């Protein structure tokens, strides 16, 4: 006689669409809360993501937004695979805790990796938490190798003394198209094959943020641009930070100019009542992710010469050079 075992199978992938957002959010919050608990962070309850942020992720990913379901057609696992030109990126991804440990995680990573490779990406990465040794082992067994440590920097802003940033949203139709093309030419000149056009357009269409433009010193071309979002990442939270998603700058002078203009944009995009009147931790902040090798914190404002492990930040994993 066989003992009764709960159903462990999941079926998919199907393309995840907007009606799935609630189910995706539930699996996201449950899987990451469980992950934190197993990492010893027992009191952490991971909130649902803002549905607008999911909408952006699903539209950006297109066919790469993949969902697996259980026998009742509830979301059991998902992986959102994005492509920015020749760069492929996975995440968020998760398996519902009651379906973990039965091969679903391996399937969702491999299926999305195969799809991205079929789309012609030449690099493929994902980001995981450096403290989560299980995940590092899990990805390593699937052929990923550790890449960079991503340090997320935040800075409180003062509400005064900012200039007027040049924003893509203030450009009229034809000038806007020309700025978008100039942004892509800048990216091409710096990192051939990358393309952030879709992310920039989708951000504008959904009203999640904007793109700061730094005009070229010679006139015609752009020296830098910064794509940012100001909608809260977590559902039901107030708008109190600006997140930089993509930044391209011709040189270090352009990089500084881009950050100054982004701070000015943050001062405008975030509500007055959150500026200067609340305790410092509630001030508007600029978050930025800076990719460096794991032991290189040099030159980052306020960073130690070498960064020790733990704390915030993520470890980037790459599937190696796919063109080799």
Ligand X SMILES: CC(C)(COP(=O)(O)OP(=O)(O)OC[C@H]1O[C@@H](n2cnc3c(N)ncnc32)[C@H](O)[C@@H]1OP(=O)(O)O)[C@@H](O)C(=O)NCCC(=O)NCCS
Question: What is the helix (H) or strand (E) element at residue 93, kind and residue range?
Answer: strand 87-95
**d(C-alpha 4, C-alpha 252), whole Å:** 63
- Is there binding between residue 124 and ligand X (CB under 6 A)? no
Q: What is the side-by-side order of every strand in the sheet holding 87-95?
A: 11-15, 65-69, 75-84, 87-95, 123-128, 314-318, 145-156, 285-292, 241-249, 222-229, 209-215, 166-167
Residue nearest to ligand X (CB): 105
Min separation Cβ 262 and ligand X, Å: 27
Q: What are phi and psi of 292, to 5 degrees?
A: -140, 165
Using the rule CB under 6 A, give the single segment among 30-38, 113-121, 187-195, 276-284 that binds ligand X: 30-38
Burial of 261 (0-12, 13-18, 19+ CB in 10 A): buried
Min separation Cβ 101 and ligand X, Å: 5
Q: Name the 3-class secondary structure at 12.
A: strand
Nearer to ligand X, 64 or 209 (CB): 64
Nearer to ligand X, 106 or 273 (CB): 106
Q: Are strands 285-292 and 241-249 parallel, antiparallel or unpaired?
A: parallel
Tell me the C-alpha to C-alpha distance, in Å, between residue 318 and each of 89, 127, 136, 244, 249: 9, 9, 12, 22, 24
DSSP 189-244: HHSTT---HHHHHHHHHHTSEEEEEEE-TTSSSEEEEEEEE-S-SBTT----EEEE
What is the x/- site pattern for ligand X, positions 140-169, by CB under 6 A? Answer: -x----------------------------
Tell which one of 15, 32, 48, 235 touches ligand X (CB under 6 A).
Answer: 32
Tell which one of 138, 193, 233, 287 touches ligand X (CB under 6 A).
Answer: 138
- Is there binding between residue 49 and ligand X (CB under 6 A)? no
Using the rule CB under 6 A, give the single segment among 126-134, 175-183, 231-239, 302-310 that binds ligand X: 126-134
Nearer to ligand X, 58 or 254 (CB): 58
- Is there binding between residue 128 and ligand X (CB under 6 A)? yes
Nearer to ligand X, 93 or 267 (CB): 93
Nearest to 169 by CA among 229, 211, 223: 211
- CA dihedral sign, ordered 54, 57, 62, 66: negative
Using the rule CB under 6 A, give the single segment among 63-71, 137-145, 203-211, 261-269 that binds ligand X: 137-145
Tell which one of 25, 35, 182, 204 touches ligand X (CB under 6 A).
Answer: 35
What is the x/- site pattern for ligand X, positions 86-115, by CB under 6 A? Answer: -----x-xxx----xxxxxxx---------
**d(C-alpha 311, C-alpha 149), whole Å:** 12
Min separation Cβ 193 and ligand X, Å: 24
Min separation Cβ 290 and ligand X, Å: 19
Nearer to ligand X, 104 or 213 (CB): 104
**Contact set with ligand X (CB under 6 A):** 31-32, 35, 91, 93-95, 100-106, 126, 128, 134-135, 137-138, 141
């Amino acid at each position: 006689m066989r003992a009764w075992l709960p159903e462990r199978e999941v079926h998919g992938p199907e393309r995840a669409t907007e009606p799935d957002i609630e189910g995706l959010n539930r699996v996201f919050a449950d899987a990451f809360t469980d992950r934190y608990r197993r990492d010893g962070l027992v009191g952490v309850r991971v909130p649902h993501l803002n549905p607008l942020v999911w909408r952006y992720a699903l539209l950006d990913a297109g066919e790469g937004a993949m969902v697996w379901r259980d026998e009742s057609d509830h979301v059991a696992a998902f992986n959102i695979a994005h492509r920015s030109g020749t760069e492929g990126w996975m995440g968020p991804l998760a398996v519902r805790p009651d379906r973990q440990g039965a091969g679903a995680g391996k399937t969702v990573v491999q299926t999305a990796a195969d799809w991205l490779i079929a789309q012609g990406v030449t690099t493929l990465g994902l980001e995981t938490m450096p403290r989560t040794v299980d995940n590092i082992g899990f990805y390593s067994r699937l052929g990923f190798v550790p890449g960079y440590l991503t340090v997320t920097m935040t800075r409180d802003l003062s509400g005064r003394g900012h200039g007027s940033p040049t924003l893509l949203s203030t450009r009229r139709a034809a000038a806007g198209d020309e700025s978008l093309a100039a942004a892509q030419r800048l990216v091409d000149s710096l990192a051939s094959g990358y393309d952030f056009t879709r992310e920039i357009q989708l951000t504008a269409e959904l009203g999640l943020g904007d793109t700061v433009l730094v005009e070229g010193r010679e006139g015609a071309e752009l020296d830098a641009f910064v794509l940012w979002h100001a909608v809260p990442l977590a559902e039901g939270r107030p708008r109190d930070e600006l997140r930089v998603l993509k930044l391209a700058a011709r040189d270090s002078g352009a990089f500084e100019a881009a950050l100054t203009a982004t701070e000015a944009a943050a001062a405008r995009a975030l509500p007055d009542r959150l500026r200067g009147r609340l305790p410092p931790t509630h001030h508007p902040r600029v978050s930025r992710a800076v990719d460096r090798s794991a032991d290189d914190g040099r030159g980052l404002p306020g960073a130690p010469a070498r960064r020790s492990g733990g704390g915030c930040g993520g470890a980037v994993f790459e599937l190696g050079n796919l063109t080799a």
